[in-house]
Amino acid sequence: MKKIKIPHTDLEVSLLCAGCMDLAGRWQKVSLTAEHEAQARAFLDAAEELGVNFFDHANIYAHGRAEEVFGRVLREHPSLRGRIVLQSKAGIRWADDPAGTPMRYDFSREHLLEAVEGSLRRLGTDHLDILLLHRPDVLWEPEEIARAFEALKRAGKVRYFGVSNQNRFQMEHLQRHLSDPLVVNQLEMNLLHHGFAEAHICFNQRSPRYPDGWEGVLEYCREQGVQVQAWRPLAQGYLSGRSPEGQPEAVVKTAQKVAELAAQHGVSREAIVAHPHEPALANGRDRLQGDRVGGPQWSAPWAPTAPQPQFATPQQPEFSTPPQPEDCVRATLQTLPPGAATSHCCCLKSRSSLAGTIRRSLI
């Protein structure tokens, strides 16, 4: 699989980032089992086979069990740590942490340092390659965040820093107080969550659909060399094979249109959804064995062997009536700038099957 260098770092990462949110039972409050460990081993084995070396965690995923089970497998293969890039997130606190407090964001220096220590302990490593602030905290103090970042870097516990789900102005505000550049912004981007496209399409039109917050985000990230990571790019699998039964009509029609375009151009549905800017990522690889493992989902977002599909330029839509799914698909596919794959990374995670989704992406 092709590797890209994250700007402002020495990290060479796969174009796909494997999201680990679904490891170890998701949000259920259960103890780790042998089944969870087997799932994590299969996950890491499949990643290594495909050339995926980039893994995305958060200290809250599965109430910490996702990092813990990943760390157990990592300890079984100590040499693997030097071949992978570990990213985790911090800043969200569960209710009753401590007792009597609500679920909330917390970017205090104390909490960030404590959260990183917990992640390192569970993962069984002495450092994170990247730490992201997990969504914005309305009460954040950028000077305090800067002190936390400096302490973590000075101690060798975190190499680089980034954010998730932040707009341009939040990033600019934080960056003014940091000595090192932010290197990542992880954002939800897919055909069912397409504010990044509508911010361009709907500007200066009579439309209630104009998405506040997206103005200039992609442009700022590109100018500043911030890698954009798309989380949930397959919309929880609804656009790559998961049944949309019971979902709103827009979801059903968009999934149908993605399937039609994939069949028309002879590529996987993942290739349509994830906007093919780059050539083949996988070619001629045998199918992975097994069906559902109930674990994380990630797949090759670009076509394995077929020519890249060409899409006709749509007319600028008038939103007096809601756009049709085909217009959304085409407009979104044309929104990202040429060459964007050199600075964008897909971080895939949902309830869809790991092996099944990988298999679909390789055939």
> Catalytic residue positions?
61
Asked whether 222 and 343 are in contact (CB, 8 A), the reply is yes
CA atoms of 80 and 214, how far apart (whole Å): 38
Each residue of 159-181: b (16+ CB within 10 Å) or e? bbbbbbbbbbebbeebbeeeeee
- Write down the H helix ranges in the chain: 34-50, 65-76, 109-123, 142-154, 168-175, 195-201, 217-224, 249-265, 269-273, 325-333, 354-362
Residue linked to tokens 């997130």: 89
The letter for the amino acid at 163 is: V
Pairing of strands 12-14, 3-5: antiparallel
- Cα 54 to Cα 254: distance, rounded to the nearest angstrom: 29
Three-state secondary-structure class, residue 362: helix
Reading the block at residue 262, the tokens are 């994939």
Which of 231, 228, 229, 232 is CA-nearest to residue 219? 228
Sign of the dihedral through C-alpha 273, 135, 64, 56: positive
Question: What dihedral do alpha carbons 333, 338, 342, 344 form, nearest 10°?
Answer: -30
The tokens for 68 are 């813990």
Distance in angstroms (rounded) separating the CA atoms of residues 24 and 20: 9
Residue 266: C-alpha distances to residues 98, 103, 271 (Å): 54, 46, 10
What burial class does residue 342 get, using C-beta atoms within 10 Å of its C-beta: 0-12 exposed, 13-18 middle, 19+ buried? middle
Q: Where are the beta strands (DSSP E) in 156-266?
A: 158-164, 184-188, 227-231
User: Which amino acid type is present at position 72?
Assistant: R
